[in-house]
Structure 1
Amino acid sequence: MSAPASICLLRTSAIGDVTHVAPLVHTLQRAWPQTELTWIVGKLERKLVGDLPGVEFITFDKAAGWAGMQEVHKALKGRRFDALLHMQVALRSNLLSLGIKAERRVGYDRARSKDLHSLVINERIPARTGEHVLQAIGSFCEPLGLKQTDVRWDIPIPEEAHAWAARQWPDEKPVLLVSPTSSHGLRNWRPERYAAVMDHAATRGWRVVLIGGPSSAERSMADAILAHCQHAPLDLTGKDTLKKLMAMFCRAQLLLTPDSGPMHMANTVGLKVLGLHAASNPARSGPYSDRQWCVDKYDDAARKYLGKPASEIPWGTKIEKPGVMDLIKIDDVVERLEAAF
């Protein structure tokens, strides 16, 4: 098909998911460099991807509720796109999409549609199962006649962020970063188990750096971990920004984290990720490029909590049950840590 004059991308959240949109942006730009791209993105998420070149960003402040939607609709007043790529099925996003005028409205296949998604689209991506989230998002260009064959992120990191990261620790030791908190509380591991693994890394001569955002939940988790540590790590919890975090990922050798936004951010710069998976399937939502360092107890969780193996439950099922992360033992993580070392 001929190049569309304009495309609107709708994916407002979350941090990990918006990293998966970056390769799609590059795919569209390589194929159709003259096509105008407009991305409606969340307020926090824009701080990570909002400087991708050649893209117009419109911020959706979800905390503002209906007023936030009206601001987006106001910014789009009088505009019409050749295509809308509607990559989020939440009810809020489906309502938000009603203010986006587009001839072609590409959304998810029926199996992945929910919350009235089918009512606000007129085309669908191919119906597939067994895909990583990044692959599903990448397939949004297929109804337009393209295929995402090359996955490239190239999320800009400012020089001042690199300079800040360089000031945080000397570079003679290998660095283990620990980002312990997911926005989904039931994906979090126990603080004393993090501490045990961090102490092990410290005795092996690694510098251990504890990281996280400024929220009270992340501060509480960090404090609980520090209370159990025999070897005090460098605590940078609440001291970075998303860009500074990306810069730290460029300087470290390994990241220990549950299924979370930082996992996917780290993957975009090629950092090894020791992901902790029991509540979620790493094949679907783990670090896209390399999952060999992850601990995968998802099948064990499916058998314990759902009574059947992971192969017999619907793709994408989350097993966010109290205690599910306890299936991951300290020795499981130390084994992967040693393999990564």
Structure 2
Amino acid sequence: MSVPASICLLRTSAIGDVTHVVPLLRTLQAAWPQTQLTWVVGKLERRLVGDLPGVEFVTFDKAAGRAGMRAIWTALRGRRFDALLQMQVALRSNLLSLGIKADRRIGYDAARAKDLHGLVVNERIPARTGEHVLDAIGSFCEPLGLRQTGVRWDIPIPDEAHAWAAEQLPGDTPTLLVSPSSSHALRNWRPERYAAVMDHATMRGWRVALVGGPSASERAMADAVLATCSHAPLDLTGKDTLKKLLALLSRAQLLLTPDSGPMHMANAVGTKVLGLHAASNPNRSGPYSDRRWCVDKYDEAARRFLGKPAGELAWGTKIEKPGVMDLIGVEDVVERFEAAASHLGLI
């Protein structure tokens, strides 16, 4: 097996999927420490992973449109990689990849390809179904002759982020973080239901903190949750950065969230996740390491909204329908909270 001199990884977004790329990166580094690794990554996502050692990062600003693409092509002009791992099938990413020169252009198998993906690659990963997204991304090393047999993140967290998190969450009180918003609005749960679970956790002696980004939609969701809480949680919405959120997660025992980027960030630092799944399949996109504490209503959603069991759906089918998350009741989440807390020895 020849060792490639250079590999370009193309996965620009989103936060969760970029988190899934890190174990692949670690696999490549462990096998071929001398190989030059270049990662074309999104502007926001670079704030999470851009300090990984031994990697050259090239930032793609998708908000800049065609100018953003030209900036990538200019930055890589005159270079040719031994392999391009084209790990994103969206039309924008497929077009972006055209300006990246590589001898081997490895992409998804035909079943998972779309938006002209097959026209920009000359090799494909093994065709499989039933895989978690992280395992699918990990399989991009297989055409190169490797196998991803272990999963390691070790995303750096700056000392100042740890210090800030310790100020917000001092001591060793068991902590439930609640990140209520997904970028896909139809994956979100009702604010009053979050509030009911948060009140329950408070009554059980847990510290509860609400987290989220600075966007108007996340602020509105946080305000709606706060308005129906009987016991006011710590509100950190819009106050953290991605690195600070990693630090907060590393101090918490449990994260309550829908299918979202913070779910996978929590998993990467070893924090248990109480994930809310009805619109998406937790076996495909839930917390990779441990899905025991998730609420899984995906099969019920498939039967209710699509008229067939989940086992008959194409792998990766999203059921983002109005009302789908209402299939998850407060009692379902409280039961998983109690189970997780008991497992952790914190009740």
- Name the TM tier (shorter chain): over 0.9
Task: Work out whether residues 141 and 148 of structure 2, in 8 Å CA contact, stay in contact via their aligned partners in 1.
Answer: yes
Q: What per-residue deviation string (whole Å, max 9, x for no partner) do you get for residues 104-160 of structure 1?
A: 000000000000000000000000000000000000000000000010011110111
Question: What CA distance in whole angstroms lies between the structure 2 residues aligned with 1:87 and 1:234?
Answer: 38
Q: Could you say which residue in structure 1 is the equivalent of 2:248?
A: 248
Distance 1:163 1:33 in 2: 32
Q: In the aligned structure 1, how far is the partner of 2:236 from the partner of 2:42?
A: 25
Within 1, Cα distance between the matches of 2:133 and 2:261?
13
- 1:27 is the counterpart of 2:32: no
- Equivalent residue runs for 1:17-56 within 5 Å: 17-56=17-56
8 Å CA contact 2:169, 2:251 repeated in 1: no
For the residues of structure 2 that align with 1:290 and 1:337, how far apart are their CA atoms? 14
Query: 2:208 aligned with 1:208, yes or no?
Result: yes
Distance verdict in 2 for CA 1:141–1:172, change over 3 Å: closer
Matches within 5 A, 1:57-76: 57-76=57-76
2: distance between equivalents of 1:250 and 1:195?
23
Distance (Å, rounded) in 2 between the aligned partners of 1:170 and 1:5: 46
Question: Equivalent residue for 1:105?
Answer: 105
SS of corresponding position for 1:28: helix
Which residue type is aligned with residue 165 of structure 1? A
Unaligned 5+ segments in structure 2 are 342-347
Q: TM-score normalized by structure 2?
A: 0.98
Contact 2:169–2:248, Cα closer than 8 Å, also in 1: no
Distance 2:207 2:61 in 1: 38
Tell me if the contact between 2:274 and 2:336 (Cα under 8 Å) persists in the aligned partners.
Answer: yes
* Secondary structure at the counterpart of residue 198 of structure 1: helix
Give the residue type in structure 2 aligned to 1:214. P
- The one-character-per-residue Cα deviations of 1:25-54 (angstroms, maximum 9, x if unpaired) are 010011111000000000000000001100
- Using the alignment, how far apart are the partners of 1:203 and 1:11 within structure 2? 42
Structure 2: distance between partners of 1:48 and 1:172: 26
Q: Deviations over 1:273-330 (max 9, x none)?
A: 0000000000000000000000000000000000000000100000000000000000
Deviation at 1:173, TM superposition (A): 1.5
Q: Which runs of 4+ in 1 moved over 2 A?
A: none
SS at match of 2:171: coil
| Deviation of the 1:215 alpha carbon | 0.2
TM-score (norm 1): 1.00
What is the CA distance between 1:79 and its match in structure 2? 0.3
Q: What do residues 196-230 of structure 1 show as CA deviations (whole Å, max 9, x unaligned)?
A: 00000000010000000000000000000000000
The CA deviation string for residues 40-95 of structure 1, in whole angstroms up to 9 with x for no partner, is 00000000000110000000000000000000000000000000000000000000
CA drift of 1:171 comes to 1.6
User: Aligned partners of 2:207, 2:278: CA distance in 1, in Å?
Assistant: 27
Question: For residue 286 of structure 1, what is the aligned residue in structure 2?
Answer: 286
CA distance in 2, matches of 1:253, 1:229: 21
Structure 2: how far apart are the matches of 1:145 and 1:169? 45
Residue 305 (structure 1) aligns with: 305
Between the aligned residues of both structures, percent identity stands at 81
Structure 2 residue 174 is the aligned partner of structure 1 residue 174: yes
**What SS is found at the alignment partner of 2:311?**
helix
Matches within 5 A, 1:307-322: 307-322=307-322
Partner of 1:79: 79
**SS of alignment partner, residue 157 of structure 2:** coil
Distance in 1, Cα, partners of 2:167 & 2:27: 35
Distance 2:73 2:3 in 1: 25
SS state at 1:173 partner: coil
Counterparts of 2:163 and 2:169 in 1: how far apart (Å)? 11
Contact 2:21 2:137 in 1 (8 A): yes
Alignment of 1:133-152 (within 5 A): 133-152=133-152
Alpha-carbon distance between aligned partners in 1 of 2:43 and 2:101, rounded to the nearest angstrom: 22
**Residue matched to 1:323:** 323
Matched, 1:269 2:265: no
Q: What's the offset of the Cα at 1:169? A: 2.5
Tell whether the 8 Å contact from 2:191 to 2:224 is kept in structure 1 after alignment. Answer: yes
Counterpart in the other structure of 1:6:
6
* Corresponding position of 2:344: none
Partner amino acid for 1:69?
Answer: M
Aligned length: 341
Deviation string, structure 1 residues 247-273 (Cα, Å, up to 9, x no partner): 001100100000000000000011000
Q: State the Cα distance separating 1:2 from its structure 2 match.
A: 1.2
What amino acid maps onto 2:325 in structure 1?
M
Could you say what the CA RMSD is over the residues aligned between the two structures, in angstroms? 0.4
Q: Could you tell me how far apart the structure 1 residues matched to 2:175 and 2:26 are?
A: 31
* Aligned amino acid, residue 303 of structure 1: R
Would the aligned equivalents of 2:9 and 2:39 in 1 still touch at CA under 8 Å? yes
What is the distance in 1 between the residues matched to 2:232 and 2:172? 18
